[in-house]
Structure 1
């Protein structure tokens, strides 16, 4: 049987280790070197409260993977952390932030508010008429507010097209219907033929031309700007509709607009270039669906945007030529990359990072196609001199910032992007670096380490961690971001070729039976040498070793570079797991259980560590309750699985006859209930019998509590409100799709009923005298 975690009053009094929790989830820094932090992440993994996101292979061959947290199957919006997964599937080396304690705020994930109602709530806040909205998106999530209080919420958005397009996004409480938060999430910003504009000059796409031919779909003599990965629509200066452009093969010459020779050719060809860059360099699609590019949007529209589904480009007017240069196309496409990975919220510092990633993607795309970049964004479409943004000197545009100290809340995300743009420029120009290498670190950070509401410092730390995993010099990352006022990590020399630092050896272990995963924490080392104490050796960075027999082994790691060598040794104890014969222990009965009763001297394992009980307890997690458990060296596993005592589960039913309540105990326990206590409205009844008759003075609601204990002192309680006599009026109507619990009252076909136990879909009045529904008489 199962029981909720408990600790005895004596254990709590003596341990004095925890106070009653506030109504807020707990945010745990996994980068802190504590057992509690490591166990918080392991708890997420062991409870399957996650889904794996994007991943990449580190320099040592391990897989670095994003762990998206979930709660009762729903995503926890913006909350993920990174883990290292070795060749055996072990997850270790967690980094980032984990969330626990959501159950303190959310008991049920059944929404009371419908998804469409949530969309209407958002539209009402933004004063948009329902008939004008396009592409409404709705997702049920768990969302944490600024105080880390968890809410069951609808994550909703939609798009309004027109001369001033917008994409409201927000969270609506799925219980109360209240709008919790909202913001504008609109991200601005083989055939042959001509391209270019009055500033770049006319150029040609085709064999032997400045740029190669671009891929199209051909049907007879008709070609369309369509391919397996990219399609380009001609909006014909409208804000809706549009169709894939067609022309007579093989040359598309349509059409000159605002000084550009063929905006559709540019958009389509550069969309293909962007797709190819992501595919060739990283083996990924920039977005999961086909790239849809909409050209000639509205009349004289001087902008471009990503609306969560597609990229849209205006023809410009006085300030810009049509906004279809490679940097602008790659910029908009890369908003899709961000939305499908870190999903950086488009405001505050995360919004500046969102814009910066699109800018660095634009730099990468030009470097991919042309092998060079001038650090100017939008200079090829801007009429006259200058550019939209200057990555090497962001303040040159008169609005952007180049240092984190200049950021202010509410700042335009295009201007705050200068911080990460400048860092990218500095990193790309470090010795041994280039645009491709710096982009490696940025995209891996976006895929795995950044989260929806990352700050500049958290984002910089993500780039640092990505560089470290890739084997790149982390000192260069620290130095580049230090110039723009962003904290990233320590100058450990990792990936920097040793330099002038002596190596420092270090490691920790994760033990599972006879199998041990070694996590290398050495610094300034170029090579490693392991001895496992059983005659076996290894030279990989973080090996996994399985011992042939139980015992304690002396493990040594030597870390070396050109200047010297350092050695670290630890004793590791391994014992084979027990086999409980299929009685529920899963072959690991010595692992700590939240429902088991432990006495002084009991030995358990929890998340790779071993603990000995110093006091009686139940539900006291070993890594938290340090006055109940003490940590001991090595791993000890029982040869024979010890018997497990589970706490009882209290349960009872009630029948009302006039003013008399008949209470019947139906509690269960693996070894039998030995005592019980009944109380009504706080007063303990004199009888402790299994069946008790209690007469009350008058009609009303009475709180009945049953507490039961087993032979080893474990207890459980259940409380039910019992209604005696007529309390007037009808209850809410019965709903076949709703879940009802013990004591819930409803009305159906002119009668009032009370649920005797949990039920769903059983119609009142059809289940008979012994059914789930108790007939309380007529109501009106």
Structure 2
């Protein structure tokens, strides 16, 4: 018997044995576990193993992402693994402090070994996975240009755990592209779940919003956003809706690569590599965009003066925005290709590895290479690496909304504070007056929603994105675009997962606001306006997780007029007085009985404050800089009971 046939017989034998000896699934989904431990974090994973029962069923936890909050705590997102294979939809959020550590939220499974005991004998080849996926999506005769695979544990709605292969394809069709994704049981070959992974700016059927708008793009400010160093490379960019002259600040191409003693410029750097596909959908023989630095580059098409320059500039500045404003590498070291002059359909895509941009049609559409479009697609890559929000249902709406938000944040970063136009894709329309989506009122396109009561599971994710888009717009009016975007970015990095909903996503955004030092009550107000009830986090005060402890020096605080670190103080029995001091004398300390900034303080002072408090209660300490545009970092604070 051939080796492959023998292995298949063994797989079937073990599967049958499992069906005989294994009882009904004992897998359980557990959510919301919170716990505080007296540890500096060095043994946190061992504690989690014991507390979550992972040692009994072969599970482990691994840190996937981490950041330092303005309170100085280390926030971590951990993922559940079973036999070194990641478990879909799980996360364990932890917070590490000098003497204590917290599990602040969690979603995980127990009892996985009951279902998976025998399934790891099963295998599924990549080629089999492709065939099963194409057949499932009725794409047998289509051209597959890219395939990616992932081993994972997928738990179905009946609480059955499956050793699975995730198959993602990028498929060329007559009317464009599609990204089918399927989770396939390695033993039964059954497709457990599937969806189109998307990553495009407009609905795949090409439908565009047709409502008109009188909102014009704001004028470019005279003050430079970026350094003018290296601003010697000339070129025309943009289109009649927003003409751009490269070589004049703020439109400097200083981050491109130079060859031949600086004579040849190449559109590549550590954030993006731009290639010319010469009108080919498959982009089989692309050329990196290179040109004489002195002569500049002007490669016009359909009203776009030089789409390649636009994509290079806006992708580079989007990456710079994430690094400069949020201290975050959006693609975690990965440098994608940006394929320009390649998409025959009217669209822009993220295909899982690359960005693709249409030239438009010259009749209704310019090239789809405007600032918000490029930032939108670039940020799909961020989301897939951070939260991996499934591109369907409510998580898909959040996925699309985040990329829309990134587009407005990029406009704010590049063109100047408060210079976002709040119109998605406005620049692509020949003649202007239209947009793909509208932040100020998402319903203007006739299909998008802006309230959770209007959500239906069959709605396209581009239309359900209106709920979070509207929240972002409202929040930006209160705390500014950059601060509002940081709340959602932190949530994407640490608190959202594949199965996040509008409700759970809102709670994650509140946590993201807390980590950045922004007012959670203001963030909550924006979500309430779209019908979010905060079912999973009704008591917002409980999201204040960092406690000032008696005599313990709390280090690493970051404080400004907008970033206000917030702590809780649990006052013990028979104590009615406390003192808080801070290492920077220009920091104002507020002590109040409520967490929100509008609460009347019990006491407030610069540098040090003493407050009379009630015993056996919880009070809150907030640190702020009064002067605008001034920030203090690595500040330390200490609290003592008197």
**For this structure pair, what is the TM-score category when the shorter chain's length is used for normalisation?**
0.7 to 0.9
Structure with greater contact order relative to length (CA < 8 Å, sep ≥ 6): 2
The partner residue of 1:256 within 279, 296, 300 is 300
Q: Shift of the alpha carbon at 1:383?
A: 2.2
Q: 1:250 to 1:216 in 2, by over 3 A?
A: farther
Residue of structure 2 in register with 1:25 after alignment: 27
The partner residue of 1:417 within 456, 465, 470 is 465
Q: Shift of the alpha carbon at 1:132?
A: 2.5
Q: Aligned residues, how many? A: 506
Q: Distance in 1 between matches of 2:505 and 2:23?
A: 30
The partner residue of 2:484 within 411, 428, 438 is 438
Q: Are the equivalent residues in 1 in contact too, given 2:279–2:341 (CA < 8 A)?
A: yes
Q: Shift of the alpha carbon at 1:106?
A: 1.2
The partner residue of 1:391 within 432, 435, 439 is 439
Residue of structure 1 in register with 2:252 after alignment: 212
Q: Distance in 2 between matches of 1:435 and 1:379?
A: 19
The partner residue of 1:167 within 170, 179, 187 is 179
Alignment of 1:281-320 (within 5 A): 281-288=325-332, 289-299=334-344, 301-317=345-361, 318-320=363-365
Q: Distance in 2 between matches of 1:22 and 1:138?
A: 30
Q: Distance in 2 between matches of 1:453 and 1:85?
A: 25
Q: Are the equivalent residues in 1 in contact too, given 2:343–2:357 (CA < 8 A)?
A: no
Q: Distance in 2 between matches of 1:307 and 1:456?
A: 25
Alignment of 1:330-345 (within 5 A): 330-345=375-390
Which whole-Å deviations, capped at 9, do the CAs of 1:20-40 have from their partners, x for residues lacking one? 9851521112257999xx998
Residue of structure 1 in register with 2:41 after alignment: none
Residue of structure 2 in register with 1:657 after alignment: none
The partner residue of 1:470 within 516, 536, 555 is 516
Give me the TM-score of the superposition, normalised by structure 1.
0.60
Which whole-Å deviations, capped at 9, do the CAs of 1:565-594 have from their partners, x for residues lacking one? 233389xxxxxxxxxxxxxxxxxxxxxxxx
Q: Shift of the alpha carbon at 1:214?
A: 4.1
Residue of structure 2 in register with 1:115 after alignment: 126
Q: 1:99 to 1:566 in 2, by over 3 A?
A: farther
Tell me whether 1:100 sits opposite 2:113 in the alignment: no
Residue of structure 1 in register with 2:392 after alignment: 347
Provide the secondary structure at the position in 1 that maps to 2:138. Answer: coil
Residue of structure 2 in register with 1:275 after alignment: 319
Tell me whether 1:157 sits opposite 2:173 in the alignment: no
Q: Distance in 2 between matches of 1:311 and 1:566?
A: 58
Q: Are the equivalent residues in 2 in contact too, given 1:29–1:98 (CA < 8 A)?
A: yes
Alignment of 1:195-594 (within 5 A): 195-200=237-242, 202-206=243-247, 208-220=248-260, 221-239=263-281, 240-241=283-284, 242-288=286-332, 289-299=334-344, 301-317=345-361, 318-370=363-415, 371=417, 372-384=419-431, 385-430=433-478, 433-488=479-534, 489-490=537-538, 492=540, 528=569, 562-563=601-602, 565-568=613-616
Q: Distance in 2 between matches of 1:137 and 1:244?
A: 24
Q: 1:171 to 1:249 in 2, by over 3 A?
A: same
Gaps of 5+ in 1: 1-19, 497-504, 510-514, 518-523, 542-556, 571-780
Q: Distance in 2 between matches of 1:45 and 1:337?
A: 32
Provide the secondary structure at the position in 1 that maps to 2:402. Answer: helix
Which whole-Å deviations, capped at 9, do the CAs of 1:283-330 have from their partners, x for residues lacking one? 22221311321111144x311010100110001113321011110000
Q: Are the equivalent residues in 2 in contact too, given 1:141–1:155 (CA < 8 A)?
A: yes
Q: Shift of the alpha carbon at 1:527?
A: 7.0
Q: Distance in 1 between matches of 2:421 and 2:49?
A: 43
Larger Rg over CA atoms:
1
Q: 1:558 to 1:415 in 2, by over 3 A?
A: closer
Q: Distance in 2 between matches of 1:34 and 1:282?
A: 28
Q: Distance in 1 between matches of 2:110 and 2:466?
A: 35
Gaps of 5+ in 2: 1-21, 38-44, 202-229, 555-564, 583-590, 595-599, 603-611, 619-642
Q: Are the equivalent residues in 1 in contact too, given 2:147–2:170 (CA < 8 A)?
A: yes
Provide the secondary structure at the position in 1 that maps to 2:87. Answer: strand
Q: Shift of the alpha carbon at 1:487?
A: 2.7
Give me the TM-score of the superposition, normalised by structure 2.
0.72
The partner residue of 2:150 within 120, 133, 139 is 139
Q: Distance in 1 between matches of 2:292 and 2:482?
A: 38
Q: Distance in 1 between matches of 2:368 and 2:110?
A: 46
Q: Distance in 2 between matches of 1:495 and 1:78?
A: 22
Q: Are the equivalent residues in 2 in contact too, given 1:402–1:422 (CA < 8 A)?
A: yes
Q: Shift of the alpha carbon at 1:245?
A: 1.4
Q: Distance in 2 between matches of 1:487 and 1:91?
A: 29
Q: Shift of the alpha carbon at 1:192?
A: 2.6
Q: Are the equivalent residues in 2 in contact too, given 1:400–1:416 (CA < 8 A)?
A: yes
Q: Shift of the alpha carbon at 1:103?
A: 1.5
Residue of structure 1 in register with 2:234 after alignment: 192
Q: Are the equivalent residues in 1 in contact too, given 2:593–2:601 (CA < 8 A)?
A: no
Q: Are the equivalent residues in 1 in contact too, given 2:547–2:569 (CA < 8 A)?
A: no
Q: Are the equivalent residues in 2 in contact too, given 1:474–1:491 (CA < 8 A)?
A: no
Which whole-Å deviations, capped at 9, do the CAs of 1:723-749 have from their partners, x for residues lacking one? xxxxxxxxxxxxxxxxxxxxxxxxxxx
Q: 1:246 to 1:145 in 2, by over 3 A?
A: same
Q: Are the equivalent residues in 1 in contact too, given 2:67–2:75 (CA < 8 A)?
A: yes
Residue of structure 2 in register with 1:593 after alignment: none
Provide the secondary structure at the position in 2 that maps to 1:567. Answer: coil
Q: Shift of the alpha carbon at 1:224?
A: 1.7
Tell me whether 1:74 sits opposite 2:114 in the alignment: no
Q: Shift of the alpha carbon at 1:217?
A: 1.9
Q: Are the equivalent residues in 2 in contact too, given 1:188–1:332 (CA < 8 A)?
A: yes
> Larger deviation: 485-494 or 241-250?
485-494
Residue of structure 2 in register with 1:597 after alignment: none
Provide the secondary structure at the position in 1 that maps to 2:322. Answer: helix
Q: 1:540 to 1:217 in 2, by over 3 A?
A: same
Alignment of 1:650-665 (within 5 A): none
- Aligned-pair Cα RMSD in Å: 3.5
Q: Distance in 2 between matches of 1:22 and 1:538?
A: 58
Q: Name the structure where helix makes up a greater proportion of residues.
A: 2
Q: Are the equivalent residues in 2 in contact too, given 1:506–1:568 (CA < 8 A)?
A: no
Q: Are the equivalent residues in 2 in contact too, given 1:527–1:539 (CA < 8 A)?
A: no
